[in-house]
Amino acid sequence: MDQVNLQKPGKDLRPLRSVVLVCLMALSYGFEPVLAQQTAKKIIPDGTMGEYLEPIDSLEKKKFLQHRYLFTGRLSSFRVGMGFLYEYTAFSQDVIAKQQLDSIGSPLENQLKVRDFRIMANGQLTTKRVISWKIGLMYDGPSREWLMRETGVTIAVPEISGHIFVGRTKEGYSLNKVMNGYAGWTMERQMVLDVIPILADGIKWIGFWPKKKIIWNVGIYDDYFSKSQGFSTYSWQTVARVGWLPIFLPESKKQLHLGVSYRYGKVEAGEMRVRSRPESNPAPFFIDTENFHAGHSNHIGAEVYYTNGPLMLASEYHWHKFSSPEKGNPLFHGGDVAISYIFTGASRPYSTVSGVYSFVPVKNPVFKGGWGEVEGLLRISNLDLDSGQLQGGKLWRVTPMVNWYLSKSLRLEFAYGYAVLDRFNLKGVTQIFQTRLQLAIL
């Protein structure tokens, strides 16, 4: 999950929600079984929620689909989902860390609260060409607002080896940023990715070349519809990501993913502010450049992911350079290294549709007498915001963590964070104790 919330005062979403409801009623008209055009079971591109339909040619299949909260209408299939996060966070600081936060003006407070609640719907049109759609609304706990999340249409275009997405979505920068936040192995994404906005409005081409085992996405976005949204810190941006699978043995559950991302963005109103929390949403921003003038920015990221059955080794590193001559054209950088092992034997699935990991499958859920899936992991991450004339601070964190997947929908998370802040010519230590209940019906 992303931890930076820069939501600006938004527009009233009630008219928008009314339009959404009307569209859903129209798409689901009839709710009668119809033949879908796709027989293969695939994750919907760039959504990691839902699957293409199989032909509904029997009563058994109809019951199966309805059991998975999916119905078919004359115009489209219709599926609903939801996500809910409820978490507790406690902090312990040394004397120096308390002095640093006194300088920031944001003391720490232990919190038990809703992280977010979201409602999603998606489906597939009953057209000859495969066309899927999705709509997302989220209640943001910290701001207590309803926000429009990933919403748009995906069109299969086999003529160019992929799919075209139009709407609001992830830009396509970084594997960990692109994938569904509920499927992540840690509670929050690594802090270096906070520099990249969580969403954008535009068009994206997603593709996969099976013979060469190359994955890509290319997109261009602007803020015509998102000016009031907190993530809209750029007036327009373009993003490209390419991944290669030198090892890809899905039957053995073994693969090596190597990827690189590039992003160019025109800064909104010529002013930027880069900041991040210590991978804990209730915490204040530990590192912060404050506002500075910037014309544009360039971003480069590298990613390495290796999976062998229940073992996953992961690392990303990113560089963010801003065009700001008066501040010395600052270059910020950071990354992470993580190791994960699922002791109960499951393997985190990898999708070549968009080059991301999906949800951990649970073969023996607790509610049916099993243990579910138990995962242990360790991550080290950092972000350096000291560059040029800007002294935003340096922050690194070590995170051991345990995930218990009780079922495919229910997950408990327990994490400990040891964070060191280097700012104001001081180095302070903050210990972070986190636990989260996650419910995801997708």
What's the pLDDT score for residue 142?
67
Q: Which two tokens stand for residue 144?
A: 């207590």
Contact 129, 155 (CB under 8 A): yes
Q: Which amino acid is at 217?
A: N
What's the pLDDT score for residue 318?
98
Q: What is the Cα–Cα distance from 61 to 64, expressed in whole angstroms?
A: 5
What's the pLDDT score for residue 30?
44
User: How much is the pTM?
Assistant: 0.85
Give the tens place of pLDDT for each residue, 207-250.
Answer: 999 999 999 999 999 988 887 777 788 999 999 999 999 999 99
Q: DSSP character for 51?
A: B
Q: What is the Cα–Cα distance from 214 to 232, expressed in whole angstroms?
A: 30
Domains of the chain, each with CATH number or no CATH: 14-441 (2.40.160.10)
Q: What is the DSSP string of 273-333?
A: --EE-SS-TTS--SEE---EE-SEEEEEEEEEEEEETTEEEEEEEEEEEE--GGGT--EEE
pLDDT band, very low/low/confident/very high, at 80 (cuts 50, 70, 90): confident
What's the pLDDT score for residue 19?
45
Element (H, E) at 33: none
What's the pLDDT score for residue 31?
41
Which of 442 and 112 is assigned the larger pLDDT? 112
**Residue 34 confidence (pLDDT) above 90:** no
pLDDT band, very low/low/confident/very high, at 438 (cuts 50, 70, 90): very high
Say which range, 67-76, 141-150, 325-334, has the weakest mean pLDDT.
67-76
List C-alpha distances in Å: 279 to 108, 290, 391, 434.
14, 19, 20, 10
Q: What is the Cα–Cα distance from 357 to 194, expressed in whole angstroms?
A: 20
Q: What is the DSSP string of 194-210?
A: GGS-S-EEEEEEEEEET
Q: What is the Cα–Cα distance from 256 to 248, expressed in whole angstroms?
A: 7
Q: Which amino acid is at 25?
A: M
Say which range, 28-32, 113-117, 152-156, has the weakest mean pLDDT.
28-32
**Residue 419 confidence (pLDDT) above 50:** yes
Q: Which two tokens stand for residue 340?
A: 């994960």
Q: What is the Cα–Cα distance from 61 to 308, expressed in whole angstroms?
A: 33
In this structure, what are the phi and psi dihedrals at residue 189, rounded to the nearest 5 degrees? -70, 160
**Residue 204 confidence (pLDDT) above 90:** yes
**By three-state DSSP, how is residue 20 classified?**
helix
Q: What is the mean pLDDT of residues 142-171?
A: 89
Task: Count Cα neighbours of 321 within 13 Å in the Cβ-side half-sphere.
Answer: 9
Contact 288, 308 (CB under 8 A): no
Q: What is the Cα–Cα distance from 262 to 220, expressed in whole angstroms?
A: 12
Q: What is the mean pLDDT of residues 62-83?
A: 69
pLDDT band, very low/low/confident/very high, at 70 (cuts 50, 70, 90): low
In this structure, what are the phi and psi dihedrals at residue 347, rounded to the nearest 5 degrees? -125, 135
Q: What is the Cα–Cα distance from 74 to 53, expressed in whole angstroms?
A: 14
Say which range, 11-25, 29-43, 184-198, has the weakest mean pLDDT.
29-43
Q: DSSP character for 180?
A: -
Give the tens place of pLDDT for each residue, 345-384.
Answer: 999 999 998 899 999 999 999 999 999 999 999 999 999 9
**To the nearest whole percent, how much of the chain has pLDDT over 70?**
83
Q: What is the Cα–Cα distance from 150 to 170, expressed in whole angstroms?
A: 8
Q: What is the Cα–Cα distance from 323 to 6, expressed in whole angstroms?
A: 22
pLDDT band, very low/low/confident/very high, at 1 (cuts 50, 70, 90): low
What's the pLDDT score for residue 88?
97
